[in-house]
């Protein structure tokens, strides 16, 4: 049975999905960077699998499972049972029961990706009913970076992070959707627009997200260097690859853009073009 996908509507660093399900076995939750049923990367959380005896977290439909727990009779065909699933930008995934703060299943991925959709299904011949208690609930954590949805003409959100400057004004760290990608770029207050680089060109966006709530720390990356492990994920390419926030000194400006790991470059939107640089600074967590 296919997953029923919903887009992640919040961009805070930590999210919690709360739900109840009534089914004899095999209630599955997936976390994905796409609503494509066959897409990777993807996490699958199996609740009450193996004839309602065990729960597990699997990545990219590949064994061995990344985490598992013995949970006999965790599901019921006769009554709703409540659960929660949480995740953050580091892809730390936790699964717990309704009314319990401690998870019974957890996994932190050393190769995180940005989660943009979640999906629900029953499987292995089971059919049941779902109740989404609170949809997708943002968890506010003091001092934790978050992306705030903003439109042209809106006031700057509280705690907006300055990341650069051009000849007119300071530039804020922002990101916007374009051609199936979520691209880090620059918000120019003087224009009320966010600019991102894609396909060799600079693209202006009137709907975007601004990074808030963190003190920026920048690390120099030179050609051939590895991206620091604590680099802050800032978006995703159209193929699902995680993108990071970078900046470059160029023609008297400090211009923000996207770090594309597989290209070993930072691409900035500048003067109507997409310009690539092998030497750049990348935003990291403190």
What confidence tens digit (pLDDT) does each residue in 42-86 have? 999 999 999 999 999 999 999 999 999 999 999 999 999 999 998
CA dihedral over 215, 221, 182, 85, signed as positive or negative: negative
Write down the pLDDT at residue 23: 96
**Is residue 64 reached through a cis peptide bond, with omega within 30 degrees of 0 on the bond before it?**
yes
For the ranges 15-19, 143-147, 158-162, the lowest mean pLDDT is seen at 143-147
Residues 107-144 pLDDT 10s: 999 998 888 899 999 999 999 999 886 555 554 433 45
Q: Which range (184-188, 225-229, 264-268) has the least confidence?
A: 225-229
Q: How far apart are the first and last CA of the chain?
A: 43
What is the Cα–Cα distance from 93 to 138, expressed in whole angstroms? 14
- The sign of the CA dihedral 8, 28, 82, 99 is negative
What are the strands, taking DSSP E only, across 33-145?
42-48, 54-59, 62-70, 81-88, 92-97, 105-108, 117-122, 129-139
> What per-residue confidence (pLDDT) applies to 143?
46
Domains of the chain, by residue range, sit at 4-139, 146-284
The fold for domain 4-139 equals: Jelly Rolls (2.60.120)
At residue 210, the pLDDT reads 92
pLDDT given for residue 153 in this prediction: 87
Kindly report, residue by residue over 193-237, the tens digit of the pLDDT: 999 999 999 999 999 999 988 888 999 999 989 999 889 889 888
What burial letters (b/e) apply to 117-130, b meaning 16+ CB within 10 Å?
Answer: bbbbbbbeebebeb
Instruction: Quote the DSSP letter at residue 51.
Output: H
List the single range of 132-136, 177-181, 182-186, 240-244 with lowest mean pLDDT.
132-136
For 197, the token pair is 């680089």
pLDDT of residue 144: 59
Average pLDDT, the chain: 89
11 has a pLDDT exceeding 80: no
The residue with tokens 């995180």 is: 112
Q: Which pLDDT belongs to residue 273?
A: 97
Q: Which residue has the higher pLDDT, 15 or 43?
A: 43
| Model pLDDT, residue 114 | 86
pLDDT at position 142 is: 38
Name the nearest CA neighbour of 71 among 51, 47, 54: 54
């Amino acid at each position: 049975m296919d997953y029923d996908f919903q887009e992640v509507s919040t961009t805070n660093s930590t999210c919690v999905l709360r739900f109840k399900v009534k089914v004899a076995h095999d209630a599955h939750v997936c976390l994905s960077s796409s609503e494509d049923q066959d897409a990777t990367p993807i996490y699958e959380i199996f609740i009450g699998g193996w004839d309602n005896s065990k729960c597990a977290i699997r990545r990219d439909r590949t064994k061995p499972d990344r985490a598992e727990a013995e949970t006999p009779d965790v599901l019921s065909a006769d009554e709703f049972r409540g659960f929660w699933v949480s995740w953050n930008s580091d892809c730390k995934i936790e699964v717990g029961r309704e009314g319990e703060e401690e998870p019974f299943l957890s996994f932190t991925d050393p190769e995180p990706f940005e989660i943009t959709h979640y999906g629900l299904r029953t499987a292995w011949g089971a059919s049941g009913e779902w109740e989404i208690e609170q949809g997708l609930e943002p968890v506010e954590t003091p001092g934790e970076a978050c992306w705030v949805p903003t439109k042209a003409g809106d006031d700057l959100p509280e705690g907006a992070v300055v990341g650069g400057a051009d000849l007119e004004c300071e530039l804020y760290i922002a990101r916007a959707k374009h051609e199936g990608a979520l691209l880090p770029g620059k918000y120019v207050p003087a224009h009320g627009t966010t600019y991102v680089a894609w396909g060799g060109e600079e693209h202006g966006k009137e709907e975007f997200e601004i990074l808030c709530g963190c003190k920026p720390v920048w690390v120099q990356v030179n050609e051939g260097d590895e991206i620091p492990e604590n680099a802050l994920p800032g978006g995703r390419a159209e193929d699902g690859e995680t993108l990071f926030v970078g900046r470059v000194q160029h023609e008297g400006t400090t211009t923000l853009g996207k770090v594309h790991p597989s290209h070993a470059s930072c691409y900035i939107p500048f003067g109507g073009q997409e310009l690539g640089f092998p030497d750049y600074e990348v935003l990291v967590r403190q």
